[in-house]
Amino acid sequence: PGESFAGFPAITALPERLIAGWSIFPALGDNLSRKAAYNRHLAHIVKLISPSATIGVGAEVGNGTIVGHHAHVGPAASVGRGVIVNTGAAVEHECQVGEFSHISVNATVAGRVRVGSNVFVGAGATVIDKVSICDDVVIGAGATVVRDITAPGTYVGTPA
């Protein structure tokens, strides 16, 4: 109660029938919970891009995605629907980020990386260029991904 985000009230439970004209953004940190809320309220979903974020030439940002304060989406990058690119995170040139993933605070996804769907990249983690990460992966905070990840699971450390 009384919480807000970017000047908008945070609502923890939506009525089954939304008031006509409402727009919503499901700001749930858990990827699967965010996906469920997105699918439940599809007609009302919007994307949010902070005025301090940068979006490169030719980049695409999907509906229901947030690009947070001081975050960067590079040229020709593609960020799917329902993604969180959190404060200070960088998704560099020609990256592909699958739907309902979360690039955490100050994480760096270098150029030409492919991040699957439902992936969580922890705070301060780094994914080096041209790496591919499959769906349903968790990358721990501060980890460094230096090779392709081809199996779902949790990856931590340097190298992860």
Return the closest-CA partner of residue 67 out of 80, 81, 48.
Answer: 48
Let me know the angle formed at the C-alpha of 54 by 49 and 55, rounded to the nearest 5 degrees.
80
Burial 124-134 (b: 16+ CB within 10 A, else e): bbbbeeebbbb
Distance, CA of 67 to CA of 160 (rounded, Å) = 25
Give the active site residues: 93
Burial 26-39 (b: 16+ CB within 10 A, else e): bebeebeebbebbe
